[in-house]
Amino acid sequence: MAVTQHDIAKKLGISQRLVSYALTGHPYVNEEMRARIKQEAERLGYRPSRSARALVTGRTYQITLCFPFLGPSHYNEIIRRFEILARQTPYDLLVCTYDPNGKDGHSPQFTVDGMIFVSPASRLAMHINCPVVVVQNQMTRPVQAHEEVMDRVQIDTANAANAAMDHLWDEGFRRIAYVAPKHMMDPEDFRYSSYLEKMAAAGLPPELITLPIPGEELICQNAHDVLKEHFGEHGFPDAIFCSNDDIGIGAYGALQEMGRRIPHETAVLGFDDFDYAKYLTPPLSSVSMPVQEACRRAWEMLMQRIENASLPPQFERFDAQLVVRKSSLGKSKQAQGL
Amino acid sequence: MAVTQHDIAKKLGISQRLVSYALTGHPYVNEEMRARIKQEAERLGYRPSRSARALVTGRTYQITLCFPFLGPSHYNEIIRRFEILARQTPYDLLVCTYDPNGKDGHSPQFTVDGMIFVSPASRLAMHINCPVVVVQNQMTRPVQAHEEVMDRVQIDTANAANAAMDHLWDEGFRRIAYVAPKHMMDPEDFRYSSYLEKMAAAGLPPELITLPIPGEELICQNAHDVLKEHFGEHGFPDAIFCSNDDIGIGAYGALQEMGRRIPHETAVLGFDDFDYAKYLTPPLSSVSMPVQEACRRAWEMLMQRIENASLPPQFERFDAQLVVRKSSLGKSKQAQGL
DNA sequence: CTGAAAGCGCTTACAG
DNA sequence: CTGAAAGCGCTTACAG
């Protein structure tokens, strides 16, 4: 099968241990010998067995990145950021999905050096007995006991979500709909709660448009289909607050196909501020997430936790921020050509 | 440290081997004992060491998915598809980037059961001594000797790329620009060669707009910035042929900000047909890639190669297909309101 | 500096 | 059915 250190040693008439020392940079090897060994390793096409190394060192040099599902551009950006970070370290990156509602059924079965959970998985992460960092949106509920002992990077969405609803209101929109997949119609989520509160305060009925939980189908397509049907049955809202930008794009498509102009007839506001938002026609208002900073900090926390398991819980918050673009401007600002 | 099979055995007063048999489903264990062992394993929070298992079985149950870089929505869809496939098997998915020009410097150092290279990496993949499948676009050059012995899923882009250029021409556009990152300005790439040939046949000078090779910056933003500058200096082409849809979105942004209407004043045609294409304003013409089928087939090939290393080289081709939408319609069709 | 060896946590033939 | 054991490919203390 594969070439081992033993093969190299035999070829060179030396001990296997010397090969190991030479290859891992142990100082007790003279440089001439090290060079010969490395050359022979290369010649034979030697590749170290990560399993064997991991077994003896207790380190896999693998980090698992866990999402509730894949698809959203926002997650794509997160994977991209973590890959850039991982590339600068000896760690490799595993990507997997978990069932956020499953107890721990879908959670990765095997050992890695650390895990990063994106989003609501704090319940799941609790059962993992390796270094874990959770990147999650701030919730309306107080921090739970099991969360307080975890390393967490929190994105504060409360202000931004409130600002988004205030903005839509101030722009003069009254019939405002909220669109989200089923699992995000959650009173603990600030998007949802901000929406409900604002509408309740105004004495207006909420208009909730629920999408299926993302599976194999595409989120933007789900959104497009459901919204077209909704508009056909109930007519058009003045504004649509989307729980992410993928839904926002679906809304753009639905409105456009039905001849409805954005924002003149129906305004759209997204969430996550993905890369494309500012280049859409019209540019999509959204809530910007500090992805790069959050990922960098999460990675740093994880590295420190791996170094030192007894570190006190680490915590850092970053603010999400409303970004107003043309897609959510009311009649007065539109007239000003803003 | 972590709980081992030995710990479970000691607690139950049985041998470690019995624990192993019980957990891996070996028939030589009576069901009552198996249940007791499984229960105790659960109670202790046992998780098998993948390193130890891999060391003895020679299987890591890990597959590495390699991209030249991350970022494009098209790659996001590919990751998503492979994750869905992997989830139905015992395999985990690693995601990494490689330097397509490096000899093998950046290639993953460690052993996995198989690798999937997306895009041009055939040179690199050649040096890997584990099962490899390459998913690549058809090239203008003949298949090379080292490629013929590899398992390959090929996307045939020749017809679609020609059809795209013919379409732009037939719609009446004459000043057509081609936009691509530097490494894709490659005569072996059918997008580029189709473009050059069509322009040459028409006796028109090519208008090549070169983007930097994707790094940490975003592709759509690079495209946006470079295009704005180009338009400012050289004015607007009649149509823009983009080597992927991320660039297409950047073009939308640049044109929109400069007050140029699509397609009335400048048409845009993308490549990859990402999820958002049909929901953009106007819907983006593109070339649709059979991502789901290609990924499914690549995964199947890899599983078969792992089962049987002596299988003859596997090969399958899928066709890319031009999808005409509103963004590339010429004046006559626009007038018809199509 | 180097040889002979223990051991990481598993799987799996080999005897009983 | 089960006990005692070999061995996967490494790293690393322990003697010399």
- Asked whether the beta carbons of residue B55 and residue A58 sit closer than 8 angstroms, the reply is no
Show which of residues 289-318 on chain A sit within 8 Å of chain B, judged by CB atoms.
none
- Asked whether the beta carbons of residue B280 and residue A73 sit closer than 8 angstroms, the reply is no
Question: Which tens digits make up the pLDDT trace of B239-248?
Answer: 999 999 999 9
In this complex, is the C-beta atom of A103 within 8 Å of any C-beta atom belonging to chain B? Answer: no
Average pLDDT over residues B271-288: 96
In this complex, is the C-beta atom of A79 within 8 Å of any C-beta atom belonging to chain B? Answer: yes
Tokens of A223: 């959104």
pLDDT band at residue B90 under the 50/70/90 scheme: confident
pLDDT higher than threshold 70 for residue A102: no
pLDDT higher than threshold 80 for residue A100: no
Query: Alpha carbon of B324 to those of A14, A220, B167, B201: distances in Å?
Result: 67, 20, 8, 23
What is the spatial distance between Cα B193 and Cα B201, in angstroms, rounded to a whole number? 12
What are the start-end ranges of the H helices in chain B? 5-12, 16-24, 31-44, 50-57, 73-87, 122-125, 145-148, 158-170, 190-201, 219-234, 245-257, 291-307, 331-335
pLDDT higher than threshold 80 for residue B102: no
CA of B227 to C1' of D6 (A): 67
* Residue of chain B nearest A225, judged by CA positions: B279
- Asked whether the beta carbons of residue A92 and residue B96 sit closer than 8 angstroms, the reply is yes
pLDDT band at residue B1 under the 50/70/90 scheme: low
Contacts of B81 (CB under 8 A, 6+ apart): B291, B292, B295, B296
Predicted local distance difference test score (pLDDT) of residue B250: 97
- Chain C footprint positions (protein CB, under 7 Å): 1-5, 7-13
Average pLDDT over residues B284-312: 95
pLDDT band at residue A258 under the 50/70/90 scheme: very high
**Nucleic strand C within 7 A of Cβ B52:** yes
Torsion angles phi and psi, residue B259, rounded to 5: 75, 25
Predicted local distance difference test score (pLDDT) of residue B223: 97
In this complex, is the C-beta atom of A43 within 8 Å of any C-beta atom belonging to chain B? Answer: no
pTM of the model: 0.92
**Smallest CA–C1' separation from A29: which nucleotide?**
C1
Contacts of B287 (CB under 8 A, 6+ apart): B157, B160, B161, B164, B270, B271, B272, B273, B320, B321, B322, B323
**Nucleic strand C within 7 A of Cβ B43:** no
Buried b (16+ CB within 10 A) or exposed e, B297-312: bbbbbbbebbeeeeee
pLDDT band at residue B105 under the 50/70/90 scheme: very low
- Within 8 A of A79 by CB-CB distance, chain B residues are 70, 76, 79, 95
DSSP B287: E
Tokens of B111: 């052993």
Query: Alpha carbon of A190 to those of A138, A183, A276, B66, B156: distances in Å?
Result: 8, 13, 24, 37, 46
- Asked whether the beta carbons of residue B280 and residue A278 sit closer than 8 angstroms, the reply is no
Using omega within 30 degrees of 0 as the cis cutoff, is the peptide bond preceding A131 cis?
Answer: no
Average pLDDT over residues B61-72: 92
pLDDT band at residue B335 under the 50/70/90 scheme: low
**Nucleic strand C within 7 A of Cβ B21:** yes
Predicted local distance difference test score (pLDDT) of residue B106: 45
Residue to substitute from A281, A284, A288, A291, interface B, most B β-carbons within 10 A: A281
Predicted local distance difference test score (pLDDT) of residue A327: 97
Between B40 and A251, the more confident residue is A251
- Within 8 A of A73 by CB-CB distance, chain B residues are 73, 76
How close does chain A come to B185, measured CA to CA in Å? 24
Predicted local distance difference test score (pLDDT) of residue A105: 43
Question: Which tens digits make up the pLDDT trace of B113-138?
Answer: 899 999 876 666 666 778 999 999 98
Element (H, E) at A126: none
Question: Which tens digits make up the pLDDT trace of B307-327?
Answer: 888 899 999 999 999 999 999
- Chain D footprint positions (protein CB, under 7 Å): 1-5, 7-13
Between B200 and B7, the more confident residue is B200
Buried b (16+ CB within 10 A) or exposed e, B229-242: ebbeeeebbbbbbb
* Residue of chain B nearest A70, judged by CA positions: B80
Predicted local distance difference test score (pLDDT) of residue B122: 63
Question: Which tens digits make up the pLDDT trace of A163-215?
Answer: 999 999 999 999 999 999 998 899 999 999 999 999 999 999 999 999 998 88
- Within 8 A of A24 by CB-CB distance, chain B residues are none
In this complex, is the C-beta atom of A278 within 8 Å of any C-beta atom belonging to chain B? Answer: yes
CB A175 within 8 A of CB A235: no
| Average of per-residue pLDDT values in chain B | 89
Predicted local distance difference test score (pLDDT) of residue A121: 62
Predicted local distance difference test score (pLDDT) of residue A50: 84
Predicted local distance difference test score (pLDDT) of residue B104: 45
Of B52, B80, B94, Cβ closest to residue A70: B80
pLDDT higher than threshold 60 for residue A108: no
Predicted local distance difference test score (pLDDT) of residue B174: 96
**Nucleic strand C within 7 A of Cβ B4:** yes
In this complex, is the C-beta atom of A247 within 8 Å of any C-beta atom belonging to chain B? Answer: no
CB A69 within 8 A of CB B79: no
What are the start-end ranges of the H helices in B58-189? 73-87, 122-125, 145-148, 158-170
- Within 8 A of B280 by CB-CB distance, chain A residues are 249, 252-253, 280-281
Torsion angles phi and psi, residue A239, rounded to 5: -150, 150
pLDDT higher than threshold 80 for residue A308: yes
What is the spatial distance between Cα B69 and Cα A84, in angstroms, rounded to a whole number? 9
CA of B17 to C1' of D4 (A): 10
Pairing outcome for strands B92-97 and B62-67: parallel
What is the spatial distance between Cα B312 and Cα A232, in angstroms, rounded to a whole number? 55
**Smallest CA–C1' separation from B55: which nucleotide?**
D8
Out of A266-275, B23-32, B227-236, pick the least confident.
B23-32
pLDDT higher than threshold 50 for residue A106: no
| Average of per-residue pLDDT values in chain A | 89
Contacts of B306 (CB under 8 A, 6+ apart): B113, B114, B131
Between A6 and B279, the more confident residue is B279
- Asked whether the beta carbons of residue A220 and residue B2 sit closer than 8 angstroms, the reply is no
CA of B61 to C1' of C7 (A): 24
What is the percent of chain B where pLDDT is above 70? 92
- Asked whether the beta carbons of residue B54 and residue A58 sit closer than 8 angstroms, the reply is no
Predicted local distance difference test score (pLDDT) of residue A47: 82
Element (H, E) at A331: helix A331-335
- Asked whether the beta carbons of residue A94 and residue B96 sit closer than 8 angstroms, the reply is no
